[in-house]
Amino acid sequence: MASHFHSVAIARSDMAHIDRSTLKQYPRIVTISRPGTTPMTRSISADEDFFERRNLRITCTIKHMRTDFRPQASEILPNLYLSDMYTATNPTVLRRLGITHVISVVETMWHAFPSDIVHLCLSIHDSPFSDMSYLFDPTVDWMQDAMDGNEHARVLVHCMLGMSRSASVVLAYLMASRGMSLVVALAHVKVRRIIVQPNAGFVKQLMWYERLLRDRERWKSSLR
């Protein structure tokens, strides 16, 4: 599976050996900001901000069945949330939920998060031809490190709609950390966020990841 992130490419045979340091090896697709740093942000007037926020809210409102699924953060686990861009960039929501870490799975992240939030940005296009499979392991490790390092940690994962890219990251986390199958993980997430629907390419990558996790468990069992 070819990578579509500029010159970045990782062979399928190498994927099982990627560790969390991978996130630091690809600055073109991954950016991390930590508490105490000040990410670059645009200068924007109050009027521009109002109209931009209004348009973003409209964009993030999904027609589901006969009703609108409005922008919101969905609690997947007590310390893990899944949301759209509008919700993730709302400081009031972040404070109310006690969010300490944010993962943005978008092509371009223009928003500067509060300085006390650790931010990870994965530049991924929502296309069946985009490859995010080699980022599953290091991103899962990053999330687990955040939660293990602070009992009060709250991680929010978002893309534009909270439906495909960010949902795929959350599904990978549930499979790797909770031992869920893809079917069980997807059912768990859809009960909590009904619009979740990874694109066909991401589903195939998650199926591959499920097989990889299963093979790892077999290998560990053989060593006991």
Q: Which residues are catalytic?
A: 159
Is the CB of residue 157 less than 8 Å from the CB of residue 141? no
* Pairing relationship of beta strands 80-83 and 74-77 according to DSSP bridges: antiparallel
* DSSP3 helix / strand / coil % (the chain, rounded to 5): 45, 15, 40
Full DSSP string of 51-74: HHHHHHHHHTPEEETTEEE-S--E
Spatial separation of the C-alpha atoms in residues 116 and 40, rounded to whole Å: 15
Element (H, E) at 82: strand 80-83
